[in-house]
């Protein structure tokens, strides 16, 4: 961690931005801030940071069907290919969280997380890993019908999780850290990360009907 | 009639529980088990007269005019009687809509007869069938209105009756209009016949007007609901952006176990459940119950409980599993504090609950035998209920993990 990771913080609350900025480790350097969709796109393309800490709900979105955060990812992903997005939200609605992950975010943490937690998540995302909170793991298990006993027969199958991936997700949902998951399943931490990334990929690529249907069913309106 | 009035008298005596004349005067209410609107019956009960007498008086004075007004007045302003076991809802024994239709048929037949037999129209005089046509149309429209506004809500009649009544009435009016237009009168006084036929056609239109009114009412209700929903989500978005963010920040700055952080977390949880779970009444399923319990614990102990629920389960909050899970959460909050994870997975055949803390941990065997918390409230309780409860160290030997499992496959409990 010799070199600092560059971060852009996108949130429409200046209090939250400054609070987060003060809480982050020295290993993380905030190179830009933005408070709505358009300014976020401008700042991200100009600064091309390693990681964007992105609020799920942002003002100024043009697409009513998705949250502002998801729109920022969709409109900037092609412009700054090296940048990774970490969703940061107080929202607990499954629709918003899954929406922003499907748009391309590499993880989701709640705003209640401490500064060191956020810093650790930023490092993980910058290193190419996915960051799953217990709650997101729960959403994922639900969306893939894991409780109904659906298991993918091959790893290539996008619409279901493999047995191992389900085990990993279950342990994360139970509050286990990656290291603890690895110890419990007698696999390496790296393997856990591989599984998590694979789940993230499935979540983003799957055309599974329930992902959308279920998100619609939980719509606020 | 006599059996009906006897029944009414019986019902009345049964209601007052005393012979007539002994108790106070019964209040003026409309009986739910009635012929048309319960006005005559209610008035008879109130005055202590025979319902038959009241009906005859209404009929006689009704022919003069005053009786109709009094009837309508009482109809509008007399409340229904309180629902009883014998008459839980309003039952109208007289098929009012069909009676009106029958009268309309009679009127139409008379008008047709008059129109076919009247060859001479007195110059400047009244055409003899006009009043009959007017009355016929009014009767048909009244039948339509009655069936849409009153019969539709009556489960014994409902939509079917409504459609049938309307079809018959439409048929009657159509026949009347056709006969008027093609009959001998049409040649003699085309203007009068045309106006009369137009009136009949308007009557057909009015027959369907009530259903339009009902449709309009439905639309308005729906629109009001939608506006309320939109308003609510606007409020939710605003609160989300302002209050929730601030609460998150307070927790962040104050630290997980401080008093301020705890209060902020509990408030955040409460507000969030209101914002995102809609205004559906909180059904007491297992996950909802444990979430509520978690927010209550967070107020009392320096603990942060994250409840994650997966799948759907039919397990109720009143069940033994919920009680054991609450006990486990309470233990974790009391003895461990810090971060506690609760994970509920409901599958078709079994429900699993994991409660995991990162406290000092403890050995079940070393707990003194007089301490009943874990042994009885969790493990014993699950065993007695036919489930399983295990308490062990958490991953990597840190903290404690309680695993509760309840098979629902073979013996689903009522």
Using alpha carbons, select from B228, B239, B340 the residue that is nearest to residue B290: B340
Instruction: Report CA A219 to chain centroid distance, whole Å.
Output: 20
DSSP-derived letter for residue B80 is: B
Show residues of chain B in contact with A93, CB under 8 Å.
Answer: 276
Give yes or no: residues B129 and B10 share one domain.
no
User: Is residue B229, in this structure, part of any structural domain at all?
Assistant: yes
pLDDT < 50 regions, chain A: 1, 215, 218-221
| All structural domains of chain A with their residue ranges | 5-130, 136-217
Residue B42 lies in a domain: yes
User: Domain check: are B177 and B255 in the same one?
Assistant: yes
What ranges in chain A are assigned the alpha helix state H? 14-23, 37-47, 68-76, 94-103, 115-126, 134-143, 163-173, 178-185, 189-205, 209-217
Q: Return the CATH number of A136-217, one of 1.10.10.10, 1.10.8.10, 3.30.300.20, 2.60.40.1930.
A: 1.10.10.10
Residue at a domain's end among B38, B64, B91 = B91
Coil/strand/helix, residue B160:
helix
Same domain? B16 vs B73: yes
**Tens of each residue's pLDDT in chain B, 414 residues:** 444 444 544 444 444 444 444 567 788 888 887 888 888 888 888 888 888 888 888 888 888 778 888 888 888 888 888 877 777 777 788 888 888 889 989 988 888 888 777 655 554 555 677 888 888 888 888 888 888 888 777 777 777 888 888 899 899 888 888 888 887 777 777 788 888 888 888 888 888 888 888 888 889 999 998 888 888 777 877 777 678 777 877 877 776 667 787 788 778 877 877 776 654 444 567 777 888 888 788 777 878 888 888 876 666 655 778 888 888 888 888 887 778 888 888 877 788 888 888 877 666 656 555 555 676 778 888 888 788 888 877 776 778 888 888 877 544 443
Would you state the pLDDT for residue B269? 76
The answer to whether residues B119 and B42 belong to one domain is no
Domain-located, residue B412: no
Q: Which class in CATH covers the domain with range A5-130?
A: alpha beta
Check which CATH number belongs to the domain holding B331 and give it: 3.30.565.10
A104 vs A111: CA distance, rounded Å = 19
Question: Do B36 and B110 belong to one domain?
Answer: no
A5-130 against A136-217: fold identical: no
Domain shared by B297 and B181, yes or no: no
- Cα→Cα distances B401→A187, B340, B341, Å: 21, 10, 9
C-beta of residue A129 within 8 angstroms of C-beta of residue A196: yes
Strand partners for A99: none
Q: CA B14, CA B23: separation in Å to the nearest integer?
A: 13
Cα within 13 Å of Cα(A149), Cβ side: 5
Q: What is the ipTM of this complex?
A: 0.76
Max CA separation in chain A (angstroms) = 48
- Secondary structure letter of residue B375 according to DSSP: I
Total H helices, total E strands in chain B = 14, 7
Asked which of B280, B315, B337 is the last residue of a domain, the reply is B280
Residues B264 and B318 in one domain: no
Rounded Cα gap, residues B195 and B201, in angstroms: 10
What range defines the domain where residue B32 resides? 2-91
Cβ pair A175:B356 closer than 8 A: yes
* Tokens 């997700």 found at: A169
- How many beta-carbon contacts under 8 Å exist across A and B? 110
Question: Chain B contacts of A90, Cβ < 8 Å?
Answer: 240, 244-245, 247-248, 268, 272
Residue A91 pLDDT: 64
Indicate the number of domains in chain B: 3
Domain boundary among the residues B72, B91, B110 is at: B91
Indicate whether B253 and B125 sit together in one domain. Answer: yes
Paired tokens of B64: 């003069």
For residue B413, being part of any structural domain is answered with no
Same domain flag for B197 and B316: no
CB-based contact A142:B313 (threshold 8 Å): no
Phi, psi angles (nearest 5°) of residue B157: -110, -70
Same domain, B146 and B272: yes
- Which residues of chain A are within 8 Å of residue B402 when distances are taken between CB atoms? none
Sign of torsion, CA B241 B243 B244 B246? positive
Contacts of B241 in chain A (CB under 8 A): 12-13, 57
B232 to chain A, closest Cα gap in Å:
9
Could you give the CA distance from residue B364 to residue B341 in angstroms, rounded to a whole number?
A: 20
Q: Do B252 and A176 touch (CB under 8 A)?
A: no
**In chain B, what residues touch A111 (CB-CB under 8 Å)?**
245, 248-249, 252
The predicted pLDDT at position B392 comes to: 79
Residue B414 forms part of a structural domain: no
* Residues of A within an 8 Å Cβ radius of B: 12-13, 15-16, 19, 23, 57, 90-93, 110-115, 134-135, 137-138, 141-142, 146-149, 170-171, 173-176, 179-181, 183-184, 220-221
Q: Is residue B60 located within the same domain as residue B174?
A: no
- The closest CB to that of B272, out of A92, A115, A141, belongs to A92
> What is the b/e burial string over B207-240, where b = at least 16 CB atoms within 10 angstroms of the residue's CB?
beebbeeeeeeeeeeeeeeeeeeeeeeeebeeeb
């Amino acid at each position: 961690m010799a070199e600092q990771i560059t971060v852009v913080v996108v949130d429409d609350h200046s209090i939250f931005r400054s609070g987060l900025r003060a809480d982050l480790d020295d290993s993380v350097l905030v190179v830009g801030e933005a408070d709505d969709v358009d300014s976020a796109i401008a700042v991200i393309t100009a600064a091309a940071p390693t990681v964007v800490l992105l609020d799920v709900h942002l003002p100024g979105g043009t697409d009513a069907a998705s949250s502002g955060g998801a729109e920022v990812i969709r409109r900037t992903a092609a412009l700054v290919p090296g940048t990774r997005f970490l969703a940061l939200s107080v929202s607990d609605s499954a629709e918003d969280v899954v929406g922003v992950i499907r748009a391309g975010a590499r993880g989701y943490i709640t705003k209640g997380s401490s500064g060191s937690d956020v810093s650790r998540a930023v490092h993980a995302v910058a290193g190419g890993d996915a960051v799953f909170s217990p709650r997101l793991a729960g959403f994922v298990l639900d969306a893939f019908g894991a409780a109904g006993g659906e298991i993918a027969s091959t790893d290539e199958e996008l619409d279901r999780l493999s047995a191992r991936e389900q085990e990993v997700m279950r342990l994360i949902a139970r509050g286990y850290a990656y290291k603890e998951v690895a110890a419990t399943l007698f696999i390496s931490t790296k393997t856990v990360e591989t599984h998590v990334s694979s789940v993230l990929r499935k979540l983003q690529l799957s055309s599974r009907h329930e992902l959308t249907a279920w998100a619609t069913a939980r719509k606020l309106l | 009639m006599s059996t009906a009035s006897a029944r009414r008298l019986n019902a009345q005596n049964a209601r007052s529980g005393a012979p007539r004349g002994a108790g106070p005067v019964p209040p003026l209410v409309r009986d739910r088990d009635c012929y048309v609107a319960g006005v005559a019956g209610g008035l008879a009960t109130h005055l202590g007269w025979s319902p038959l007498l009241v009906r005859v008086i209404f009929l006689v004075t009704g022919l003069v005019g005053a009786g109709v007004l009094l009837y309508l007045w009482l109809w509008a302003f007399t409340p229904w009687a309180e629902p009883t076991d014998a008459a839980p809802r309003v039952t109208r024994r007289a098929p009012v809509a069909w009676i009106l239709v029958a009268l309309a048929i009679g009127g139409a037949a008379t008008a047709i007869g008059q129109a076919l037999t009247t060859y001479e129209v007195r110059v400047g005089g009244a055409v003899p069938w006009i009043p009959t046509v007017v009355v016929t149309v009014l009767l048909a429209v009244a039948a339509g209105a009655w069936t849409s506004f009153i019969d539709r809500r009556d489960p014994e009649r409902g939509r079917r009756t409504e459609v049938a009544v309307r079809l018959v009435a439409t048929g009657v009016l159509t026949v009347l209009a056709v006969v008027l237009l093609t009959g001998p009168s049409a040649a003699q006084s085309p203007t009068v016949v045309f106006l009369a036929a137009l009136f009949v056609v308007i009557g057909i239109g009015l027959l369907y007007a009530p259903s339009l009114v009902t449709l309009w009412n439905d639309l308005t209700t729906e629109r009001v609901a939608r506006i309320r929903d939109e308003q609510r989500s606007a409020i939710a978005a605003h609160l989300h952006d302002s209050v929730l963010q601030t609460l998150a920040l307070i927790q962040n700055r104050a630290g997980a176990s401080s008093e301020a952080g705890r209060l902020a977390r509990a408030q955040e949880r409460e507000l969030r459940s209101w914002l995102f779970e809609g205004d559906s009444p909180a059904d007491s399923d297992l996950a909802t119950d444990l979430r509520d319990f978690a927010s209550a614990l967070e107020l009392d102990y320096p603990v942060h409980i994250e409840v994650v629920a997966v799948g759907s389960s039919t397990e109720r909050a009143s069940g033994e599993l919920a009680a054991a899970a609450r006990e486990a959460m309470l233990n974790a909050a009391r003895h461990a504090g810090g971060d506690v994870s609760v994970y509920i997975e409901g599958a078709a055949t079994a429900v699993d609950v994991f409660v995991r803390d990162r406290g000092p941990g403890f050995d079940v065997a070393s707990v003194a035998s007089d301490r009943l918390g874990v042994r009885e409230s969790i493990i014993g309780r699950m065993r007695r209920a036919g489930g399983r409860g295990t308490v062990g160290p958490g991953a990597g030997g840190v903290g404690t993990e309680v695993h509760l499992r309840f098979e629902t496959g073979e013996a689903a409990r009522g």
